[in-house]
Structure 1
C-alpha cells in the first residue's frame, strides 16, 4: 500500500523524468503513467482479501469464473478510487518525496484526463460486477469508491489524525464484495473479516507514517506520527493490534483447524512484534518502522492464506465439534 521514498537531488539538478522523443516511446510513457494512476501495488490487498472470503462463502468449492470476474470488477473499482484519489491529492503529492513521481505530480497526465479515466474505470467496475456477479457486489464497490474519494481523501485525510482509522474502511470492503458476489447477501463472517482489516490498517499505516513523518508534516497531513510522540503512536499500534488478533479469533468457530492454528500462531507473532516495537521506543532504542510495516503485510497475508487453504480443504468447522 505504499510507494517508495526518493532521496532529494542537489539544488539545480533537473529531477523530471526523461521525455521520450520517438512515438513508441511517448506511447509507452503515457501508458505507464495511466497504469501508475491505478496504484498497482495497492491492489495486492484486493487479492489477499477477496479470494479467501469467496472460498469461505462457498466452502469446499471453487467457482473460478466467478472469482476471476469478481477480481476484475474489484480491480477496476480500486483502480478508479486510486486514480480519483490522485486527482484530489495532486497538490500534496508534489510536496512529498514519497509521492513526487506520481503521474499528476510530475504532470505526466492532466487532472482532467485522470478524472475521466477514474470515472470510466468506476463505470466499468459497476458494469462488470452487475453482469457477472450481482447488483449488491457492484453497489458495494461504488460505495467504496465514493467513501474513499469523498470521505477519506477530501474530508478526513487533511483534517484529523484519525484519517486512516475511519478512512481505512475503504480497504476493508473487498471482504463484503467477495462474500456478496458468491451469496448475494452479507453475513457475520465477512463483517468479522472487515473488522480484521479495519483494525489492522492503523498500525500498518502508522508504521509507514513513522518512516515518512517529515513528508507528511511538509504536506500538512496530520498523520498520528506527525502530531504525537513515538511512544504514544506505538502504544496505539499495540492496542489496534490486539483488536486485530481478537477479530481473527472471532472467526475461528466458522472455520476449520487449519485457519484456527494459523490465526493463533500468527497472532502471537504479530503481538510480539508490536510489543517489541513499543518496548524499543520506550527504552529509547533505535527502531525501524519500515520493517514493522512490511511485517504487518506479511501477517495479513498469512492469516488470509490460512483461511483460503482451510476453506479449500473443508475440514469440519470448529463450531461443529461441539
Structure 2
C-alpha cells in the first residue's frame, strides 16, 4: 500500500465532506432555494442575474445554517429516533462543537453578505428566519407544545418573502400570500408524516400531536388545515403574480389534496396498521408535489409575463 493510498483512507467515524453537507439538511435546503428563487423571479422589477444567483445562494446558506443549529441542539433526540439516528452528530462523525461553529459562522456570513449584496430588509428577514427556526422552533416549541409544527412552520415559509424583498426591498400582499401558502401547508404535510412515524416521536419525548392527542385527533387536524389552506392557495391566483395557469393548477391540486385529507380522516387505525399506513404515506408524498407545483405555476406565470402570456 502506497503513502498516497494511506492518506486518502478515512478512519471509522471520521467526518467526510458529505457529512458536513448532510449537516445543512440539503433536502430542506432544496425547498428553501426553490421557493426563494420563485419569490425573487416573480417580484416586479427584477435584478441582475448574478445578484439573483448570489442572493439565492445566501438564502440557501442561511437555510443550511439553520439546519446545522437544529442538528446541534436536537442531537439527543436524534440518537433515539430511527429516522434521524444516522445523522452526522448522533453517528459520531461530526462533533456537536463543530456543528455549532458551522451553524453560527454560516448564519453570520449569509446575513451580512445578503445585506451587502441586496438590501437589509431581505437580510433582516433571513436573520429572523434563522433565529425563528433555531431558537423559537427547535429550542422552544418543538419540545413544549403539540402545536410546534403549526407555529414553527413559519420558519420554512419565509424564503419566498425573502426572495421578493431582495428585488423590491419590502413586503407586499403577494409575498405575504406566498408565505401563507407554505405556512398553512406545513401542518398537514408534517402531521401526515407523524401518523406513520408516531413511535419515533413518542420514544424521543417530542410532543407531536399524534403523541399528545392520538392519531384520530391528528387526522381531524390534517383535514381542518387542508380546508384552511385551500382558499389561501386559490386566492393567490387572483393577485399580480397569479393567472390562469396558476389558478388552474391550484384548483386541481387543492381538490386532490382535500380528497387525500378526507381519505385520511376516514381511515380506521386497524386498517392503517394492516397496510402500513399506505394512504398516509401517499398523502405525505403528494404534499411535496403539491407545494412544488404551486410555486412552479407562479414561476411559469412570471416566465410568460414578458411575452404577454402570463398573468391576468
Write the deviation string for residues 24-79 of structure 1: whole angstroms up to 9, x where unpaired: 233984212211110111112113311222222137x6753233112100111011
Who is 2:37 aligned against? 51
> Residue 29 and residue 57 in structure 1: after superposition, are their counterparts in 2 closer, same or farther (change >3 A)?
same
Are 2:216 and 1:225 equivalent residues in the alignment?
no
Who is 1:246 aligned against? 231
Who is 1:296 aligned against? 287
TM-superposed deviation, 1:297: 0.2
Who is 2:23 aligned against? 37
For the 8 Å contact 2:301–2:310, the answer to whether it is kept is: no
Mean Cα deviation higher: 163-172 or 108-117: 108-117
SS at match of 2:200: helix
Q: How does 1:163-182 map to 2 (within 5 A)?
A: 163-182=148-167
For the 8 Å contact 1:197–1:244, the answer to whether it is kept is: no
The whole-number CA distance in structure 1 between the counterparts of 2:235 and 2:62 is 29
TM-superposed deviation, 1:177: 0.3
For the 8 Å contact 1:38–1:82, the answer to whether it is kept is: yes
The whole-number CA distance in structure 1 between the counterparts of 2:197 and 2:267 is 19
Write the deviation string for residues 136-169 of structure 1: whole angstroms up to 9, x where unpaired: 1111111111111111111111111000000110
Equivalent of residue 10 in structure 2, options 8, 20, 26: 26
Who is 1:67 aligned against? 52
Q: How does 1:83-232 map to 2 (within 5 A)?
A: 83-232=68-217
SS at match of 1:157: helix
SS at match of 1:26: coil
Are 2:245 and 1:258 equivalent residues in the alignment?
yes
Provide the TM-score with structure 2 as the length reference: 0.90
For the 8 Å contact 1:69–1:133, the answer to whether it is kept is: no
The whole-number CA distance in structure 1 between the counterparts of 2:24 and 2:6 is 25
Unaligned runs of 5+ in 2: none
SS at match of 1:95: coil
The whole-number CA distance in structure 2 between the counterparts of 1:38 and 1:165 is 22
Q: What RMSD in Å do the two structures reach over aligned CA positions?
A: 2.0
For the 8 Å contact 2:62–2:106, the answer to whether it is kept is: yes
SS at match of 1:107: coil
Equivalent of residue 279 in structure 1, options 252, 266, 290: 266
Structure 1 residue runs of 4+, over 4 Å off?
282-286
Alignment: residue pair count: 297
Unaligned runs of 5+ in 1: 1-20
Who is 1:17 aligned against? none
TM-superposed deviation, 1:278: 1.4
